[in-house]
């Protein structure tokens, strides 16, 4: 089989040659494991800090496979709950076949169509957005909710959930083209462009009364600009720091004076703390995806060999919606 390995640890923005596609022996399912044929691979920003040694687990060394979530079909199993053909999601690696502990897979509800949504809006990305807005920040009708990386996997769900709670959702994106998609497909009332001048001024124009909830996916100058617009008692959900994932050294933090002035609350979000709410999230989101009131766009890339480029491109903002790689196994 084929798999993608680390060729060398990225310096700054990752490039395709930091990865290599290699032949490898197809793994065998050991005791308590199932063998999966990979159909889809999830492309996620956290891989960048992981490769830089700034994540919860140590980075794979050169020649070692790239870790990531996959959606695959069970091909070998002696677990009666997981017969051959069952579609599951697992934390694994960028490979055509993976062997994973049977206790660590999540069965994909056949009602999820297309199944790849189980890696995005109906998977960890959806749970992240849902936890941020339904558990941590809970916007009320009439609130103004700002979301950064607003057209991405997490942000696109967060913005829609804000709107569905009756709030006015405003996005921050990296281009005018994305702003148009974010408003058209995800229902943002307006979008600011973090690559255009004077982000704080743009936010002042788009949210003259200020921001009640900020769902932060990026940190850095976008966070700083958002903090300067907080209303009194604002809630900030700190979800991601993609602005600094390529940096070797931690940049200086934002000026937190406006947090004091606004009597605001900042809450860190780690999706893994909310895994016990998975069923609750799916009960709410699945019917909405089915009836079209929650739109899910995917940035689909074809073939395992395209995974490294897809990862580099996602960090540069080329995606709209969830980035996934489709392998030929996918039906």
Ligand X SMILES: NC(=O)c1ccc[n+]([C@@H]2O[C@H](COP(=O)([O-])OP(=O)(O)OC[C@H]3O[C@@H](n4cnc5c(N)ncnc54)[C@H](OP(=O)(O)O)[C@@H]3O)[C@@H](O)[C@H]2O)c1
Number of residues forming the site for ligand X (CB under 6 A): 33
- Residue closest to 269 by CA, chosen among 154, 153, 141: 154
At closest approach, how far in Å is the CB of 222 from ligand X?
5
Contact with ligand X (CB under 6 A): which of 194, 229, 235, 326? 194
Q: Segment contacting ligand X (CB under 6 A): 16-24, 196-204, 267-275, 284-292? A: 267-275
Find out whether 142 and 166 touch, Cβ atoms under 8 Å: yes
Q: For the segment 55-114, give every residue that binds ligand X (CB under 6 A).
A: none
Contact with ligand X (CB under 6 A): which of 1, 259, 266, 271? 271
- Residue closest to 36 by CA, chosen among 116, 80, 81, 101: 101
Q: Which is nearer to ligand X, 149 or 262 (CB)?
A: 149
Helices 153-164 and 176-186: crossing angle in degrees, nearest 10, is 50
- Residue closest to 122 by CA, chosen among 172, 87, 74: 87
The contact pattern for ligand X, residues 216-245, with x = CB under 6 A and - = no contact, is -xx---x----------------xxxxx--
Distance CA 193, CA 179 (A): 7
Q: Segment contacting ligand X (CB under 6 A): 107-115, 120-128, 139-147, 304-312? A: 120-128
Q: Which residue is nearest to ligand X (CB)?
A: 152
Regarding 312 and contact with ligand X (CB under 6 A), the answer is no
At closest approach, how far in Å is the CB of 294 from ligand X?
15
In the numeric block, the tokens 């617009």 are attached to 229
Regarding 202 and contact with ligand X (CB under 6 A), the answer is no
Regarding 50 and contact with ligand X (CB under 6 A), the answer is no
Q: Which is nearer to ligand X, 11 or 267 (CB)?
A: 267
SS3 216: strand
Q: Segment contacting ligand X (CB under 6 A): 7-15, 18-26, 59-67, 152-160? A: 152-160
Q: For the segment 2-41, give every residue that binds ligand X (CB under 6 A).
A: none
SS3 293: coil
Q: Which is nearer to ligand X, 138 or 316 (CB)?
A: 316
Find out whether 188 and 162 touch, Cβ atoms under 8 Å: no
Contact with ligand X (CB under 6 A): which of 314, 324, 325, 327? 314
Task: Kindly write down the DSSP assignment for every residue of 248-272, as one continuous string.
Answer: SSPPPPPP-HHHHHTT-EEEE--GG
Regarding 164 and contact with ligand X (CB under 6 A), the answer is no
Regarding 275 and contact with ligand X (CB under 6 A), the answer is no
- Residue closest to 32 by CA, chosen among 107, 115, 99: 99
CA distances from 323 to 121, 122, 296, 301, 319 (A): 11, 14, 11, 8, 6
Taking residue 222's Cβ as centre, other Cβ atoms within 10 Å add up to 24
Regarding 203 and contact with ligand X (CB under 6 A), the answer is no
123-135 CB burial, b ≥16 within 10 A, e <16: bbbbbbbbbbbbb
At closest approach, how far in Å is the CB of 322 from ligand X?
6
Q: Which is nearer to ligand X, 261 or 270 (CB)?
A: 270
Taking residue 104's Cβ as centre, other Cβ atoms within 10 Å add up to 13
**Size (the chain), residues:** 331
Beta bridge partners of 170: 146, 190
At closest approach, how far in Å is the CB of 298 from ligand X?
10
At closest approach, how far in Å is the CB of 176 from ligand X?
11
Binding site for ligand X (CB under 6 A): 44-46, 124-125, 128, 148-149, 151-155, 173-175, 178, 194, 217-218, 222, 239-243, 269-271, 314-315, 317, 319
């Amino acid at each position: 089989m084929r798999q993608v390995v680390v060729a060398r640890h990225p310096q700054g923005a990752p490039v395709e040659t930091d990865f290599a596609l290699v032949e490898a022996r197809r793994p065998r399912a050991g005791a308590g494991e199932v063998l999966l044929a990979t159909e889809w691979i999830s492309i996620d920003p956290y891989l960048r800090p992981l490769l830089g040694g700034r994540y919860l687990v140590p980075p794979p060394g050169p020649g070692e496979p790239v870790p990531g979530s996959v959606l695959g079909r069970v091909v070998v199993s002696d677990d009666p709950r997981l017969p051959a053909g069952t579609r599951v999601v697992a934390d694994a690696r960028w490979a055509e076949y993976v062997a994973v502990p049977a206790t660590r897979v999540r069965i994909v509800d056949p009602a999820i169509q297309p199944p790849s949504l189980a890696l995005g809006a109906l998977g960890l990305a959806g749970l992240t957005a849902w936890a941020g807005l339904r558990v941590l920040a809970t916007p009320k009708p009439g609130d103004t909710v700002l979301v950064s990386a607003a057209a991405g996997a997490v942000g696109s769900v967060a913005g829609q959930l804000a709107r569905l709670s009756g709030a006015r959702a405003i996005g921050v994106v990296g281009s005018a083209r994305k702003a148009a998609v974010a408003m058209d497909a995800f229902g943002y009332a307006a979008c600011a462009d973090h690559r255009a001048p004077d982000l704080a001024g743009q936010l002042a124009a788009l949210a003259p009364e200020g921001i009640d909830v900020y769902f932060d996916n990026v940190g850095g100058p976008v966070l700083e600009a958002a903090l300067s617009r907080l209303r009194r008692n604002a809630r900030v959900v700190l979800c991601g720091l993609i602005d600094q994932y390529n940096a070797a050294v931690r940049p200086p933090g934002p000026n937190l004076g406006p947090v004091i002035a606004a009597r605001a609350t900042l809450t860190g979000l780690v999706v893994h703390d909310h895994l016990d709410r998975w069923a609750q999230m799916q009960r709410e989101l699945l019917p909405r995806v089915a009836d079209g009131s929650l739109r899910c766009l995917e940035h689909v890339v074809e073939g395992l060999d395209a995974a490294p480029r897809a990862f580099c491109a996602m960090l540069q903002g080329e995606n709209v919606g969830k980035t996934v790689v489709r392998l030929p196994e996918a039906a």
